[in-house]
Amino acid sequence: MASHLALSPGSAARSGLAAALLLGAGVSVALGVYAKVHHPSSRPLFTLGFSGMLQMKAWLATAALALLVVQLVTALWMWGRLPRAGAAPAWVPPVHRWSGSVAFVLTVPAAFHCLWALGFGSPTPRVILHSVAGCLFYGAYAAKMLGLRLQRLPGWALPVLGGTVLGSLVLVWLSAAAWFFSRSGLPVF
């Protein structure tokens, strides 16, 4: 009786992927709702030695983006998609994992200040893009981390989730750090 209740491998993979995507959507929506309903403090709690909150956020995002480029290169290498690189040596998977972990940790103080100190305070197109991309980044990251633990996902799922993590962080960086670095008259550090 119980054998016919078990999920087939295909339906289990679809259910797992659906769960990962729902988790990601939930994280994204929860962050967006919090940013919208929270009254922003308009001041930083800490700046990690930088002269201000914007400087800290810009440099942390830049370091995270650099590490995500390492993520992209090592992922391509591990999957045999890096032209003329040959098989990935044994050190590549740990570099991939650690660069992703450190990149994520670097985004947390910046995101915390986006949510706590700034919220959805300015309805300009740049800020809206930044806010949506930031929420998408954390949702995609949550979905990818869950997806890594699931068996039999479609072959396209992890590359799409990883690409969404990378693409959303690029949008976050372009709409905030690149904007900050292009302003004149602001201290860079």
- Residue corresponding to tokens 């930031």: 134
**Would the pLDDT of 95 be above 60?**
yes
Residue 63, judged by CB atoms within 10 A of its CB (0-12, 13-18, 19+), counts as middle
Q: Specify the pLDDT at position 7.
A: 54
- Residue corresponding to tokens 């990251």: 141
**Would the pLDDT of 3 be above 70?**
no
**Would the pLDDT of 59 be above 90?**
yes
Mean pLDDT value across residues 137-160: 93
- What is the DSSP code (8-state) at residue 88? P
**Would the pLDDT of 45 be above 50?**
yes
Residue closest to 100 by CA, chosen among 148, 150, 154: 148
Residue closest to 175 by CA, chosen among 120, 111, 131, 116: 131
Q: What is the pLDDT of residues 104-143, one digit of tens each?
A: 999 999 999 999 998 876 778 999 999 999 999 999 999 9
**Cα distances (Å, whole numbers) of residue 24 to 15, 38, 54, 106, 169:** 14, 21, 27, 20, 15
Q: Which residues have C-beta within 8 Å of that of residue 51, sequence separation ≥ 6?
A: 187, 189
pTM for this model (two decimals): 0.89
Q: What is the mean pLDDT of the chain?
A: 91
